[in-house]
Amino acid sequence: MPIKLPFLKNKSNTNIQNLRLDKELLPCHVAIIMDGNGRWAKSRGMPRIAGHKEGMNVVKRIVRYASDLGIDILTLYAFSTENWKRPKKEVDFLMKLPMEFLNTYLPELIEKNVRVETIGDFDRLPEHTKKAVQEAKDRTADNTGLILNFALNYGSRNEMIEAVKQVAKQVQEGEINIQDIDESCFTDHLFTADLKEPDLLIRTSGEQRLSNFLLWQLAYSEFWFTDVFWPDFDESYFEKALYDYQNRKRRYGGI
């Protein structure tokens, strides 16, 4: 059964009335760099944190829609290892957001059979952030629907260095031979070990860079960029990204 694109249809006056998504061609794993919160707020004369708050509401909408569409994994870049450089006030606010998000939204996630996961260096997060996120992970651990994977204090280079250390330790302790180190062995030591690689990467706000996000895992993903700031992103853009994705030709180096 083809999936209609109700949001895109409502919003657009172009001739997209007949656009459909093919369920078979939906990406299994979508990763999003949710960027532009600060500029969105600034353009409205508001403090940057107002943009983060608004961005949180967009997260809810997109999670809901991704779950309804039957997407398997949604990875959201929420805080990078470089974002600690920001003013303390902004960092403190960002560290409170997961708790606020989960306070109001965890019951719906549970009802929707969503499983909350994280990637990143969990240890460095403040206690209150860890507690809220861990509770959500524990309470959704047996759910079998959408995997909602938050990249929190995540940095791809840090992830790879940690993986290299773990592999080196295994060699040192005689558990594996150097000859046994291959792509699959390395992949098994990344935060994403249990997750399929992203099929589609979306970045909002007009920037076209990875900002230390999933450098290894995105080797063959399709990229989709929009100038729209994250707080203005909605289901219609998500539909457009999925539609464009299903019309890409993935060759993986073949012909």
Is 231 a binder of ligand IPE (CB under 6 A)? no
Q: In this complex, which beta carbon is closest to ligand IPE, that of residue 21 or of residue 97?
A: 97
Instruction: Write the burial class of residue 77 (CB in 10 Å: 0-12 exposed, 13-18 middle, 19+ buried).
Output: buried
The region of 10-18, 136-144, 165-173, 205-213 touching ligand IPE under the rule CB under 6 A is 205-213
Is 211 a binder of ligand IPE (CB under 6 A)? yes
Rounded Cα–Cα distance for residues 46 and 148 (Å)? 29
- Strands, sheet with 147-154, edge to edge from the N-terminal-most edge strand: 115-119, 147-154, 73-80, 29-33, 200-203, 222-225
The site partner of 224 among ligand IPE, Mg ion, none (C-beta below 5 to 8 Å per kind) is none
Shortest reach from residue 167's CB to ligand IPE, in Å: 27
Number of residues binding to ligand IPE, judged by CB under 6 A = 17
| Closest alpha carbon to 91 in 79, 103, 100, 101 | 79
Q: Which of 72, 83, 143, 158 is catalytic?
A: 83
Is 94 a binder of ligand IPE (CB under 6 A)? yes
Shortest reach from residue 178's CB to Mg ion, in Å: 40
Contacts with Mg ion by CB under 5 A lie at: 35
